[in-house]
A and B are shown apart, each in its own frame.
Chain A
């Protein structure tokens, strides 16, 4: 549709697509047999998932003692992994909600996959607090339901309970938001399918028919859900940070935690989106929809949030020194120079120093460096959580309780296992649902397609119906073969 497009805007859809070609390109992965690389990756992921099942079963059978946690360090890899996965789960809703409110068109290329990633990451995150309970079958006790124990209620004043509410609300709202966006695209797949596939997609597409009133309500729903999800996404990692910030442990008891955690979450989430999308655009041949413009925009967000995280690290050190409080000072001295100095170095290197290379436009637009950095940042953000959790606990108030912690094989296998769970779910998703939001891409075609804007545009200005007709005539439109054609 028409509307003013600033001349600095570059096309977000390349390859001079018509509406029909967009449908073809994005539906193709759901309609063809999987490639060999998909099959191999899937088998590897399922093997990791099997490892997850085994090591969780081992934990439950042998007991939490099979982990190397001790009385001093009672949160180790489990909570590190939990916070890491929750952080990764922040990018999807940020892209779909906050960027929708800001009317950023580039979100349409990546929002669907990022939201799926969010949901799968939160599923992975949720495993850790549950497994850490040791007695999985009593997990229901964390919800306040009328029970035969009094009824005895949960402690509503506890940040750990706030977490239960925050994460379950976040998961539910993200799922609803994602699926509401998916319904029209599943209908597109349905209308191209035959036989059993058509029956299945008829059920999951809820009978969507694209009527004007439905679209109007759908847009209204998306906008309000985005408005609700925006404070929600900020609240979730804020509340996760309260798990630490409301304690009285030096190194945790800091007011900077909520914004610092939220920035870190966006940082790591975008890194994971880039890791996945750089592979997906190649394997699923979506280079025309996830372009260098998208990659560069995300790298800018990474540069910003990485720098915020860097400022937070330095502020922590400064405040610890400035507070004049020896326990706080010791906690931070110990973080930098203590027995876990290597994880602090890893964190600083991966999260603060290396993302600064994105000041260069050339590197922001380099797929190699972007992929390399996305992996680097994921590692760095894992180190950050490990630094906060394990380093702080390792040096207790009483030197007699000081301890060191290395994970057992069970903990390592559970972590690798959640990666298997994550990739298994994501790989299935790429086979059964459109990875790019088809309807949303079509709605920005005339303001972001390369035949309408940018250097390659046909004619001048952004609104060229004549050119669109030429393109449509050249495409493979074959309306007569449709079974609805009448007599």
Chain B
């Protein structure tokens, strides 16, 4: 019984029709020490991240690392080609003509940083062609703001408390759905 339960989670969620109601509801949940599983919104709602205790994204660090790699790779490669592998004099300039390497070094810095960061973004979010993350309701990408609780292991009394919380905070509708863990 317990093993069957672990492959599926029972998600109890309420839908709100306005982001102000959503923010108030999240505040109320925090005050009541309710353990919010996830919040889904149709667009980024400002002020939500601190209420949910989400740490600032560290994507920029990934961008910096990839950019540094691109910069060093571009400059290093051109240096290697023109000083070691196949030195050629162009227009009487030195083999290692640093100013002429700047444009390509810059472009490769941007290219590596952007491509690397976008890949990291899709990988850590688990997004990609064919990815099937949890989707609770079709209106979440339209105009509904969703607060979801994991009700799998909750007693029926606790579930009723959550339903009471939803109606008190002005949720438009309350649903429950079995989703893969």
Which residues of A line the B interface, CB within 8 A? 1, 18-20, 23, 144, 150-153, 155-159, 161-162, 165-166, 169, 172-173, 176-177, 180, 183-184, 187-188, 190-192, 202-204, 206-221, 224-225, 228-229, 231-232, 235, 239, 242, 439-440, 442-443, 465, 468-469, 472, 477, 479, 482-486
Contact = CB atoms under 8 A, between A and B. Distances in A.
A184 B59 CA distance: 19
* Count class of interface residues, chain B: 35 or more
Given A210-B42, A443-B44, A216 B97 contact: no
A440 B103 contact: no
A459 B136 CA distance: 36
B135 interface: yes
Contacts of A215: 41, 43-45
B157 interface: no
B115 to A, nearest CB: 7
A159 B90 CA distance: 13
A398 B86 CA distance: 36
Contacts of A228: 63, 67, 110, 113-114
B68 to A, nearest CB: 13
Nearest to A21: B143
Contacts of B52: 212
Interface of B: 15, 17-21, 38-49, 52, 54, 56-57, 59-60, 63, 67, 77-78, 81-82, 85-86, 88, 90-91, 93, 97, 100-101, 103-104, 106-108, 110-111, 113-115, 117-118, 121-122, 124-144, 172-173, 175-177
Contacts of B143: 18-20, 23, 442, 477
A183 B118 CA distance: 12
A479 B15 contact: yes
Given A156-B104, A210-B42, A479-B139, 20 more contacts: A20-B142, A23-B142, A153-B81, A169-B110, A176-B115, A180-B121, A207-B133, A210-B40, A210-B141, A216-B44, A217-B124, A220-B60, A224-B59, A231-B106, A235-B103, A235-B107, A239-B103, A242-B103, A442-B43, A484-B175
B39 to A, nearest CB: 4
Contacts of A484: 136-138, 175, 177
A27 B52 CA distance: 31
Contacts of B15: 479
Contacts, number: 217
A159 B113 CA distance: 23
B104 A191 contact: no
Given A156-B82, A176-B118, A210-B42, A169 B126 contact: no
A477 B106 contact: no
Contacts of A479: 15, 139, 144, 172-173
23 contacts: A1-B47, A153-B81, A155-B90, A156-B101, A157-B93, A159-B103, A162-B103, A166-B107, A176-B114, A208-B141, A209-B40, A210-B140, A211-B38, A212-B40, A212-B49, A216-B49, A220-B57, A225-B117, A439-B43, A442-B42, A469-B17, A482-B139, A484-B177
A19 B38 contact: no
A203 B44 CA distance: 22
Contacts of B39: 211-212
A182 B23 CA distance: 26
A169 B111 contact: yes
A141 to B, nearest CB: 15
A135 to B, nearest CB: 23
B60 A188 contact: no
A482 B142 CA distance: 13
B31 to A, nearest CB: 18
Contacts of B140: 191, 209-210
B57 A191 contact: no
Given A1-B45, A477-B17, A479-B15, A172 B133 contact: no
A217 B81 contact: no
A155 B86 CA distance: 11
B59 A212 contact: no
B128 A207 contact: yes
A191 B141 contact: yes
Nearest to B146: A210
Contacts of B19: 1
Contacts of B133: 207, 209, 211
A203, A224, A229, A479: residue with the most chain B Cβ atoms closer than 10 Å? A224
- In the A-B complex, the 3 residue pairs with the smallest Cβ-Cβ separation, listed nearest first, are A207-B131, A19-B143, A220-B57
B12 to A, nearest CB: 10
Nearest to B178: A486
B143 to A, nearest CB: 4
Contacts of A156: 78, 81-82, 100-101, 104
A434 B54 CA distance: 30
A207 B134 CA distance: 8
B103, B173, B176: residue with the most chain A Cβ atoms closer than 10 Å? B103
B43 A485 contact: no
Contacts of B126: 207
A161 B60 contact: no
A481 B71 CA distance: 54
A172 B103 contact: no
Nearest to B121: A221
Contacts of A221: 59, 117-118, 121
A219 B49 CA distance: 12
Nearest to A19: B143
Contact of B54 (A183, A209, A213): A213
A443 B134 contact: no
Given A212-B38, A439-B43, A157 B138 contact: no
Contact of A19 (B42, B93, B100, B135): B42
A172 B59 contact: no
